[in-house]
Amino acid sequence: MRQANAAEDVRHRGDGGPPALEIVGLRKRFGEKVAVDDVALTVPAGSFFGVVGPNGAGKTTSLMMAVGLLRPDAGTVRVFGVDVWADPVRAKTMLGVLPDSLALPERLTGPELLRFAGRIRGMDHATIESRATELLAVLELDDAGGTLVIDYSTGMRKKIGLAAALLHRPQLLVLDEPLEAVDPISAATIKTILRRFVEAGGSVVFSSHVMPVVEQTCDHVAVVSGGRVLASGPTAEVTGGETLEERFVGLVGGGGSGGREGLSWLAN
Amino acid sequence: MVGELIRLKLTLLRRSMSGQWAVQLFLGGVIGLLAAAGTVYLATLDFGVPEVRGDLLAMAMLVWLAGWALGPILFGAGQNDLRADQLVLFPIGARTLTLGLLAAAGLGVGPAVTLVALTGLLVYAAPFGLLATLAGLIALPLTLALFVLLSKVITAVRGQVVRSQPGAALSGLFTAALLAAANSVWALAPALGVALATGFPDTLSATMRALPSGWALTSIDAVGRRDWLLAIGALGGLLVLDLLLAGVWATVLRRQLTAGRGNGRRPRAVRLAGVDDGVTGKELRTWLRDVTRTHFVFFAVFYGLLQAVIPLVNGATIFLPWTGLMVVVWTAAVTANLYGTDGTALWLTLVTPGGERADVRGRQYAWLLVVAPIAIVLTVVFAAVAGLGWAWPWAIALTAAALGAGSGAVVLVAVHAMVPLTDPRNRGSGAWENRIDVVQVIGVLAVVVPSLAPTFGVLWLSGTLDVPALAWVAVVLGVASGVAYAWGFGLLAARRLAAQGPELLSRMRSGPAPVAVGRPPALAGGTGQAPPWAVAVVLSCFVACWVPLVAQGLVPMILKLAGSGITSWFLALHMPQAYQWWVIGGMMLLGLVLIGIGLAVARNFDIRPGAGFGGVPARSSAMDSPEPERRDIADEVRKAISGRRTD
């Protein structure tokens, strides 16, 4: 019962309260490679925030550090003003997380997984049951009730992970590539759920490298490349009249013209 | 194509010649070479009874065979092995693939060392004449192929069998029986001295030669006796057995490649009356559904059982009451990789406020629910069968204390000495990569055994002072201390997890952390190197420690106890009587100190094998994750094969 009712907590929307997520001077290096280099991001409360960047840009590393799963070399992360690394218990109470490509308790079925996720947070049985049933139905996982998570497809894994992240009604959702490998119908469902969550006062940060999705759904966006934030702010400001994809290619460089040279044996 | 696979294997071997792998290979090579030299030396020895030389060599061959059979189970399938599933998309025929994989498997430190050992056959054959040497020459590659193939077949079949609970039980029984048999060999040590002088019993020599490991010797002996039929029969037998094993291996490989990952398995419905659906429920379900875990419980139960039951052959019932105790200790020792087997699923605990404590306690509780009923039944049944009235309080007190300490030790070792494994969903059908980790076994024993001391002390007092009532005081102490251990060790583990959870997760994702707290930049994916002096210290400690510990300590001790009168090169035995025990003790202590120094340095610089020792590194395939890439064998395969095809 510790935070089962976090849902009913005060909403911090546009009332001058602390931002949903505030990242300052975040750094991480692996051996010689600097993966995240002085990243700063501010996610206003109540915003739907997209993080875009090419492969290896440091998106996953930054998000992992933001939610307390990877210890930064330097920098601070605050969730609604609470330092994630100094006061993890309070910060985690407000967070819902979906990491990318990590394992789940594989030998559980979907319903069992949600029960586990709820009980370890101290939620009561009745709340878990009713929320889990609804989530499984909405995400169309109710037919797979008897299947172990290890036998789920990648898209199903994303969906059950999302359900676990939503179960305790967090105030800030941090989702790493939530729509990757998810079929178009489920993707539409997930986008709708997330929009409703934001409309009700929740905040969402999600990473993607599918530009149109970010452009359609996010009111704020950050472009990350080479471990640095190249641009960040309200989507319209960042794009400045261009499409996000054009702006992205302009910022990141490369011109998107690779693949025109060589490979003559393939193209003939 | 076979040539390409061999080239590929050589590339992989060359790549592994850096950092921790080089240390490991070098150590293995040195120890193997010593063993090989010992085997060859046996073939040159001259005893009073001529047959003894052959018998000893046959036994040595059996030990090598057992080493190859047990190796993959104890040390994991080779990190540098070519794996069939990496080659499945290339147009290679099944027969070519088997031949290529076999040829590649024949390259490496293990086969090279074994080849040296097998030259003992030639040394043995030489006095019998040219024809006997020729038989030895033919038998040598056949025996080497037998060892390699047997090891491959066991690895592959095990991967296929250990997918269901009965399969896991079977494999556990097999491993336990092999290990128990290997252990029991030491019981023969006192008989050895007698046998060296008077010859081994006929049945023993016959058995040694009847086993496939002894067929090479059988053939050489037969040539010596001009028994041509037996000589050719033994060689032919080796060839047929090799072909048979190759056939089995090819079949299993084919099945492995086409069977997929066993989709559509129906989970066993687990109703848990009165058990919380949180961590305990998740853990219990995992224990019942994940064979990589249950396998070790089966192993420990069978191993403990066999250790207690085998002495019954000599009519000794004294070991029976301790069956439950032994099962508890062994189960704890081999199930301590709780976090490793679950892989990166740890994130779910780490994003939960206060989840670490719930997680540790739930795991402890589930572990007790699995192990305690088995231990209680075994203790009660076997104590009753033994019929030793005085043993009851001893067995109950020690088992209770061990259960508590064990449930604490598994979580403590799980967070302090986690061995990263491939995430469960990425473990291929045949890639059953879990193994018994020596560091974890030692860790658990180091926690559990001293924990039993207070209880044991009271029991010992009750025996010495002949106060039976005191033994029942020990029962109360055993139960109480068990509860205290479970609580206290669990608390320590939870604290560690809360403080170092992200580091544990990082190690699961990418092997040893590139920059771990309080450590110098450690080895990770070849990006860093332990300083040369550290490697040198570790190497010399591990190489040198055996001389004082075994060669100048254990062996002279056995010789002295057996009253053999041999002095040879044993320093202690050349000393005046009064000093002999001191020298032996000092030598063994010196050996232990060397091991301690080696372990301490190895730990500080992370020379210890990290992720992927038992197979593929346990890192996620996160596209965005910039951690240093470990070398990707599949890439190598692609380069070597595709590249060459288009040339």
pLDDT at B24: 67
DSSP state of A183: -
A100 and B622 within 8 Å at the Cβ level: the answer is yes
* Contact residues, chain B, for A95 at CB < 8 Å: 351
* Contact residues, chain B, for A126 at CB < 8 Å: none
pLDDT at B537: 77
- Distance, CA of A46 to chain centre: 15
By the 8 A CB rule, do A41 and A232 touch?
yes
Angle at B401 between CA B398 and CA B403, to 5 degrees: 105
Q: How many CA atoms lie within 13 A of B63 on its CB side?
A: 17
Q: What are phi and psi of A190, to 5 degrees?
A: -60, -45
* Contact residues, chain A, for B359 at CB < 8 Å: 120
By the 8 A CB rule, do A76 and A25 touch?
yes
Q: Which residues of chain A have pLDDT under 50?
A: 1-14
Q: Is A236 helix (H, G, I), strand (E, B) or coil?
A: helix
Nearest CA in chain B to A103: B345
Judged by a CB distance cut-off of 8 A, whether residue B647 touches chain A is: no
pLDDT above 60: residue B642: no
* Contact residues, chain A, for B344 at CB < 8 Å: 102-103
Residue A231, strand partner residues: A223
Comparing CA positions, the residue from B342, B402, B419 lying closest to residue B368 is B402
| Sheet with A48-52, edge to edge strand ranges | A95-98, A172-176, A203-208, A48-52, A220-225, A228-234
By the 8 A CB rule, do B493 and B412 touch?
yes
Encoded tokens for B53: 């030389």
Nearest CA in chain A to B498: A88
By the 8 A CB rule, do B522 and B436 touch?
no
Mean pLDDT calculated for residue range B580-592: 87
With 0-12 / 13-18 / 19 or more C-beta atoms within 10 angstroms meaning exposed / middle / buried, residue B50 is: exposed
By the 8 A CB rule, do A95 and A144 touch?
no
Rounded distance, CA B408 to CA A113, Å?
Answer: 25
pLDDT at B44: 85
End-to-end distance of chain B based on CA atoms, in angstroms? Answer: 14
pLDDT at B50: 76
**Which of the pair, A101 or B370, is modelled with greater confidence?**
B370
Comparing CA positions, the residue from A37, A11, A27 lying closest to residue A169 is A11
pLDDT above 80: residue B160: no
Nearest CA in chain B to A225: B624
By the 8 A CB rule, do B315 and A146 touch?
no
Rounded distance, CA B152 to CA B246, Å?
Answer: 9
Whole-number average pLDDT of chain B: 79
A147 and B289 within 8 Å at the Cβ level: the answer is no
Q: Is A34 helix (H, G, I), strand (E, B) or coil?
A: strand
Rg from Cα positions in chain A: 19
pLDDT at B220: 94
Q: How far is A216 from chain B (nearest CA, A)?
A: 23
Q: In sequence order, which ranges of B269-322 are alpha helices (DSSP H)? A: 279-289, 291-309
A105 and B342 within 8 Å at the Cβ level: the answer is yes
Q: Which of B352, B363, B629 to mutate to test the interface with A (most CBs of A within 10 A)?
A: B352
DSSP state of A109: B
Contacts of B241 (CB under 8 A, 6+ apart): B146, B212
Nearest CA in chain A to B501: A69
Rg from Cα positions in chain B: 26
Q: How far is CA B485 from CA A39, B339, B372, B400, B404, in A?
A: 45, 20, 15, 11, 6
Angle at B418 between CA B415 and CA B422, to 5 degrees: 130
pLDDT band at B496 (very low <50, low <70, confident <90, very high): very high
| Sheet with A33-43, edge to edge strand ranges | A33-43, A21-30, A74-79, A82-83
Encoded tokens for B539: 């190497």
By the 8 A CB rule, do B374 and B327 touch?
yes
* Segment 232-261 of chain A within 8 Å of chain B by CB: none
Rounded distance, CA B163 to CA A216, Å?
Answer: 46
Rounded distance, CA B524 to CA B512, Å?
Answer: 6
Amino acid letter, A267? A
pLDDT at A57: 87
**Which of the pair, A81 or B197, is modelled with greater confidence?**
A81
Judged by a CB distance cut-off of 8 A, whether residue A120 touches chain B is: yes
Q: Is B455 helix (H, G, I), strand (E, B) or coil?
A: helix
pLDDT at B491: 96
Residue at token pair 């590929």: B8
User: How many contacts, defined by CB atoms under 8 Å, are there between A and B?
Assistant: 163
pLDDT band at B630 (very low <50, low <70, confident <90, very high): very low
DSSP E strands in B286-401: the ranges are none
A119 and B278 within 8 Å at the Cβ level: the answer is yes
A69 and B527 within 8 Å at the Cβ level: the answer is no
For B163-176, write each residue's pLDDT tens digit: 667 777 777 788 78
Nearest CA in chain B to A56: B624
Q: What is the pTM of this model?
A: 0.74
By the 8 A CB rule, do B515 and B628 touch?
no
Comparing CA positions, the residue from A53, A71, A27, A21 lying closest to residue A177 is A53
pLDDT at B464: 84
State the virtual CA torsion across B107, B108, B110, B112 in degrees, nearest 10. 70
* Contact residues, chain B, for A100 at CB < 8 Å: 620, 622, 624
Judged by a CB distance cut-off of 8 A, whether residue A27 touches chain B is: no
Angle at B636 between CA B632 and CA B638, to 5 degrees: 115
Mean pLDDT calculated for residue range B124-149: 93
Encoded tokens for A186: 């489920």
For B469-492, write each residue's pLDDT tens digit: 898 999 999 999 999 999 999 999
Encoded tokens for B165: 């609970």
Rounded distance, CA A46 to CA A51, Å?
Answer: 16
Q: What are phi and psi of A88, to 5 degrees?
A: -60, -35
pLDDT at B170: 78
Nearest CA in chain A to B517: A71
pLDDT band at B263 (very low <50, low <70, confident <90, very high): very low
Provide the b/e sequence for B549-580 (b: ≥16 CB within 10 Å): bebbbbbbbebbeeebeeeeebbbbebeeeeb
A30 and B263 within 8 Å at the Cβ level: the answer is no
Nearest CA in chain A to B520: A31
Rounded distance, CA B125 to CA B54, Å?
Answer: 10
**Which of the pair, B192 or A6, is modelled with greater confidence?**
B192
DSSP state of B549: I
Contacts of A181 (CB under 8 A, 6+ apart): A153, A154, A155, A158
Q: How far is B362 from chain A (nearest CA, A)?
A: 10
Element (H, E) at B454: helix B453-464
Rounded distance, CA A166 to CA B272, Å?
Answer: 26
Q: How many CA atoms lie within 13 A of B91 on its CB side?
A: 2
Rounded distance, CA B618 to CA B46, Å?
Answer: 52
Nearest CA in chain B to A35: B626
pLDDT band at B442 (very low <50, low <70, confident <90, very high): confident
Q: Which of B280, B348, B503, B629 to mutate to test the interface with A (most CBs of A within 10 A)?
A: B348
A119 and B277 within 8 Å at the Cβ level: the answer is yes
Range of weakest confidence among A48-57, B17-26, B455-464: B17-26
Residue A228, strand partner residues: A225
For B390-409, write each residue's pLDDT tens digit: 889 999 999 999 999 999 99
* Contact residues, chain A, for B366 at CB < 8 Å: none
pLDDT at A170: 95
pLDDT at B520: 33
* Segment 63-102 of chain A within 8 Å of chain B by CB: 67-71, 73, 88-90, 92-93, 95, 97, 99-102
For B500-551, write each residue's pLDDT tens digit: 999 999 988 875 433 333 333 333 333 344 566 776 777 777 767 777 877 7
For B550-560, write each residue's pLDDT tens digit: 777 777 776 67
pLDDT above 60: residue B628: no
Rounded distance, CA B349 to CA A117, Å?
Answer: 9
Rounded distance, CA B548 to CA B553, Å?
Answer: 6
* Contact residues, chain B, for A108 at CB < 8 Å: 282, 285-286
Q: How far is CA B1 from CA B12, B92, B101, in A?
A: 17, 8, 10
* Segment 338-377 of chain B within 8 Å of chain A by CB: 342-345, 347-355, 358-359, 362
Encoded tokens for B71: 């190796």
Mean pLDDT calculated for residue range B576-592: 86
Rounded distance, CA B342 to CA B419, Å?
Answer: 11
With 0-12 / 13-18 / 19 or more C-beta atoms within 10 angstroms meaning exposed / middle / buried, residue B145 is: buried
